Amino acid sequence: CTNEIEQLQPCLAYVEGQVTAPSSDCCKGLLSVHTNRPVCLCILMSSSTSVNSSTATLLPSICKVDTDP
């Protein structure tokens, strides 16, 4: 999931609580990863300690990406 992690880098500040809203680049990356390799989203959620899981769980609805949790 190396390429997918790179696509989600713009989301890092949001899921770590450093900013109050995700950027458009974050949402584009999320859509791309969800469309092409959704399993990477689960891997990232379970392996990262700096990610606020509550905030990360809200990201798809904020970005209007239809995911199945």
Q: Is residue 47 part of a domain?
A: yes
pTM: 0.86
Q: Using an 8 Å Cβ cutoff, are 68 and 46 in contact?
A: no
In a domain, 3, yes or no: yes
Counting the structural domains of the chain, the total is: 1
Full domain range(s) for residue 41: 1-63
- In-domain check, residue 10: yes
pLDDT digits (tens, 9 = 90+) for 8-39: 999 989 988 899 999 999 999 999 999 999 89
* Domain presence at residue 69: no
Q: What percent of the chain has pLDDT over 90?
A: 52
24: tokens are 């458009």
Residue 69 pLDDT greater than 70, yes or no = no
Q: What is the pLDDT of residue 54?
A: 85
Residue 48 belongs to a domain: yes
Three-class HEC string of 8-62: CHHHHHHHCCCCCCCCHHHHHHHHHHHHHCCHHHHHHHHHCCCCCHHHHHHHHHH
Averaged over 41-57, what is the pLDDT? 78
